[in-house]
């Protein structure tokens, strides 16, 4: 059955012509790896074979299913130096393109870390799905692997919607473009102030990653702090990222356009759409920009309250939907920009646009985690031209971890590690 890619998928498809744009997710489980058992469980997930038989018409932005193709597996032996092997495998999958006339846009990775633990993960071409897609597939496969009930039963995945218009309809409305103009002006100003980082060139646009597991009780402390200041957990996440970026990106003051720092909040649009998308896979995200001139000079409590006020404005104006229109305009501009300029976009930042994508994986209560043997979840996307760094806090039951993906071309490894360390430290002790 053929369909048409939505506007964000078509934009990601264009970016992918210059650099892989993949979503990567790893789950750490207790006990030894049983590769054969997992493969059998994974291949039994209803309708998953449709994804491997996905054919993409890049010129027209349309897709169709042509029947299942062999699943892709990578088996990694990490019994010697687990951390190094895990880091290399994650980076490889995040940066390795999906190629071929038949798009087989899901790869499975099995990491054998010894008798006590192992990792199971997926990398997905972002044209096909986002990190939520990876979570849905792995949740089903791992439940079957552990001999537990499939959380979706025998329900097959639905690959929809063909366009956002079919789902949003009146929500965008006839005045949506007019309402989006102020945001578009802001995006244009950021693009005009973009510039090349000193000593760099148009190549080298791979992505790297770092992770941090937070101390027990960190999530409870973040929740209490947010409630005390009339904010949400997401507002605390946002404020902490502003604070960490401001502290470690002081070189922005060397350039007249660098003084403000922007953070793009990445939103899952499924709960906000009128249709039931619990079984649908695909890139169903929106985003919105917040920016601040000097977050490092603010008291953290004031920064949290500022983020909360901005978040209210975003929700009231539904700014995450207007970015779909901006993506449509970006598609039109992309067609008339030369290849050299397209490549240069990947080596720019303005003054720094960081991304924030948080996930609350509610499916895992303490009892369920024990049944599954789930220890940790690591998430990470490749970074695109607009966001050279993305912070990903993940709530799993009562625990909280953080992954940072970044392009070393725009953010050095030293800066990224310092930003992640300060971010994790702030979330562990918001009052500190």
pLDDT digits (tens, 9 = 90+) for 27-57: 999 999 999 999 999 989 988 877 777 777 7
Q: How far apart are CA 97 and CA 20, in angstroms?
A: 5
Cross-strand pairs, 158: 280
Q: How far apart are CA 86 and CA 92, in angstroms?
A: 10
| Domain co-membership, 411 together with 283 | yes
Burial of 230 (0-12, 13-18, 19+ CB in 10 A): exposed
Query: What six digits make up the tokens of 254?
Result: 């060397």
Cross-strand pairs, 299: none
Query: What six digits make up the tokens of 45?
Result: 């997930």
Number of helices (H), then strands (E), belonging to the chain: the values are 14, 19
Q: How far apart are CA 70 and CA 126, in angstroms?
A: 20
CATH number of the domain bearing residue 34? 3.30.559.10
The H or E element that residue 210 is part of is: strand 208-213
| Domain co-membership, 148 together with 230 | no
The alpha carbon torsion through 181, 131, 231, 273 (nearest 10 deg) reads 60
pLDDT over 50 (residue 199): no
**Residue 115, Cβ neighbours under 10 Å: how many?**
10
Among 202-206, 321-325, 356-360, 396-400, whose mean pLDDT is lowest?
Answer: 202-206
The single residue listed with the structure tokens 């207007």 is: 322
- 24 — pLDDT class (breaks 50, 70, 90): very high
Strand duo 62-65 + 3-4: pairing = antiparallel
Query: What six digits make up the tokens of 336?
Result: 């008339």
297: phi then psi, degrees, rounded to nearest 5:
-95, -5
| Domain co-membership, 133 together with 270 | no
CATH number of the domain bearing residue 383? 3.30.559.30
Q: Where is the domain boundary, 103, 126, 159?
A: 159
- 196 — pLDDT class (breaks 50, 70, 90): very low
| Domain co-membership, 371 together with 403 | yes
Q: Where is the domain boundary, 132, 159, 186?
A: 159
Q: How far apart are CA 119 and CA 374, in angstroms?
A: 10
Enclosing domain of residue 116? 3-159
Measured in whole angstroms, how far is the alpha carbon of residue 345 from the centre of its chain? 19
| Domain co-membership, 169 together with 42 | no
| Domain co-membership, 408 together with 271 | yes
| Domain co-membership, 132 together with 249 | no
* CB distance 303 to 243 below 8 Å: yes
| Domain co-membership, 253 together with 336 | yes
The single residue listed with the structure tokens 């798009």 is: 103
- 13 — pLDDT class (breaks 50, 70, 90): confident
CA distances from 235 to 91, 114, 312, 352 (A): 29, 39, 10, 19
Is residue 25 classed as helix, strand or coil in its secondary structure? Answer: strand
| Domain co-membership, 125 together with 9 | yes
Residues 6+ apart with CB under 8 A from 28: 117, 118, 119, 374, 375, 376, 377, 378
| Domain co-membership, 138 together with 265 | no
| Domain co-membership, 203 together with 243 | yes
Q: Where is the domain boundary, 127, 159, 191?
A: 159
Based on the structure, what is the number of domains in the chain? 2
- 16 — pLDDT class (breaks 50, 70, 90): confident
237: phi then psi, degrees, rounded to nearest 5:
-55, -45
The H or E element that residue 152 is part of is: none
- 415 — pLDDT class (breaks 50, 70, 90): very high
For residue 41, the model assigns a pLDDT of 93
| Domain co-membership, 28 together with 116 | yes
The alpha carbon torsion through 124, 126, 127, 131 (nearest 10 deg) reads 80
């Amino acid at each position: 059955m053929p369909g048409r890619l939505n506007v964000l998928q078509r934009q990601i498809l264009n970016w992918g012509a210059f650099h892989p744009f993949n979503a990567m997710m790893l789950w750490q489980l207790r006990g030894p790896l049983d590769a054969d058992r997992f493969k059998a469980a994974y291949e039994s997930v209803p309708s998953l074979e449709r994804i491997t038989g996905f054919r993409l018409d890049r010129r027209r932005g349309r897709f169709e299913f042509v029947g299942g193709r062999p699943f892709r597996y990578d088996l990694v032996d990490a019994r010697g130096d687990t951390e190094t092997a895990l880091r290399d495998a994650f980076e490889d999958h995040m940066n390795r393109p999906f190629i071929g006339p038949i798009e087989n846009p899901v790869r499975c990775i099995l990491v054998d870390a010894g008798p006590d633990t192992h990792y199971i993960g997926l990398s997905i071409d972002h044209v096909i799905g986002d990190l939520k897609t990876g979570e849905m597939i792995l949740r089903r496969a791992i439940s079957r692997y552990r001999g537990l009930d499939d959380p979706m039963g025998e329900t097959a995945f639905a690959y929809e919607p063909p366009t956002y218009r079919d789902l949003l309809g009146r929500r965008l409305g006839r005045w949506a473009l007019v309402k989006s103009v102020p945001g578009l002006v802001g995006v244009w100003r950021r693009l005009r102030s973009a510039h090349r980082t000193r000593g760099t060139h148009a190549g080298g646009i791979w992505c790297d990653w770092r992770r941090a597991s937070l101390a027990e009780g960190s999530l409870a402390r973040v929740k209490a702090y947010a409630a005390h200041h009339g904010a949400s957990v997401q507002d605390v996440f946002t404020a902490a990222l502003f604070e960490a970026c401001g502290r470690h990106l002081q070189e922005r003051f060397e350039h007249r356009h660098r003084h403000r720092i922007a953070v793009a909040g990445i939103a899952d649009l499924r709960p906000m759409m009128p249709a039931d998308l619990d079984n649908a896979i695909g890139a169903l995200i929106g985003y919105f920009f917040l920016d601040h001139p000097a977050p490092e000079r603010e008291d953290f409590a004031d920064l949290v309250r500022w983020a909360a006020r901005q978040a209210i404005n975003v929700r009231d104006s539904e700014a995450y939907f207007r970015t779909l229109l901006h993506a449509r305009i970006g598609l039109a501009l992309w067609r008339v920009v030369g290849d050299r300029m397209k490549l240069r976009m990947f080596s720019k930042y303005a003054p720094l646009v960081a991304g924030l994508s948080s996930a609350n994986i509610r499916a895992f209560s303490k009892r369920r985690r024990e049944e599954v043997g789930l220890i940790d979840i690591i998430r990470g996307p490749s970074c695109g031209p607009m966001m050279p760094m993305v912070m990903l806090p993940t709530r799993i039951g009562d625990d909280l971890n953080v992954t940072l993906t970044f392009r070393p071309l725009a953010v050095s490894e030293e800066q990224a590690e310092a930003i992640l360390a300060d971010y994790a430290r702030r979330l562990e002790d918001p009052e500190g």
